[in-house]
Amino acid sequence: MKCPVCGKEMVSENFGVNVNVCENGCKGIWFDQGELAMLDEKNEGLGAALEAALRCPRHNDGQRGQIKCPKCGIPMHTHKYKRDKEVNVDECYNCGGFFLDSGELTDIRNNYMSDAEVSAYVDKMISSVPGYSEEMKKLDAEQKRLEAIQKLTKFLTVSYWRKKFE
């Protein structure tokens, strides 16, 4: 497999999970679907190859542009990693693979967010959307109105009258 950034041949390495590493080039790492989730926390994975990859400095300055999936050949999508609000990863929406530039795995592992932290971060992001709190108040008022209408009209249902006369 060719590295999507520098074009050098990637080699298979065992991090406790087999991944592809651009050892003779940019030091990027390719993860097939589901593999990154097995290595994104500090105490996951093992071996000298993983230790070497974690010591590589970060090289992506965010200016390189879109890359193509080394498996599918389609453009990959860059976004923040789900457990780290600081690191951009490249994901193939077709095969589910991830490409991390050198140093990004280290950053993900160092800044890994727990479920509670993810929830708090999502709440913070949602609440920063203009007009969100006003719309939530309107939705809450509509829900209360619906409940009141249901309470007032329950006698109109067949099941209400059936219970009365049984």
Q: What is the pLDDT of residues 138-164, one digit of tens each?
A: 999 999 999 988 887 776 767 766 777
Domain layout of the chain by residue ranges: 11-120, 129-164
What is the arithmetic mean of pLDDT over 52-63?
A: 77
Residue 3: the pLDDT is 94
Cα of 110 vs its chain's centroid, Å: 16
- Is the per-residue pLDDT at 112 higher than 70? yes
Q: Which tokens go with 32?
A: 């097939």
Determine how many CB atoms are found less than 10 A away from the CB of residue 144: 10
Residue 133: the pLDDT is 82
What is the pTM for the complete model shown?
Answer: 0.69
Complete DSSP assignment for 51-77: HHHHHSPP---S-S---B-TTT-SBPE
Q: Which tokens go with 71?
A: 């498996």
* Of the candidate ranges 3-12, 38-47, 54-63, 108-117, the one whose mean pLDDT is the lowest: 54-63
Mean pLDDT of the chain: 87
**45-56: buried (b, 16+ CB within 10 Å) or exposed (e) per residue?**
beeebbeebbeb
Question: How open is the CA angle 18-22-25, to the nearest 5 degrees?
Answer: 170
Residue 61: the pLDDT is 60
Q: What is the pLDDT of residues 63-76, one digit of tens each?
A: 778 999 999 999 99
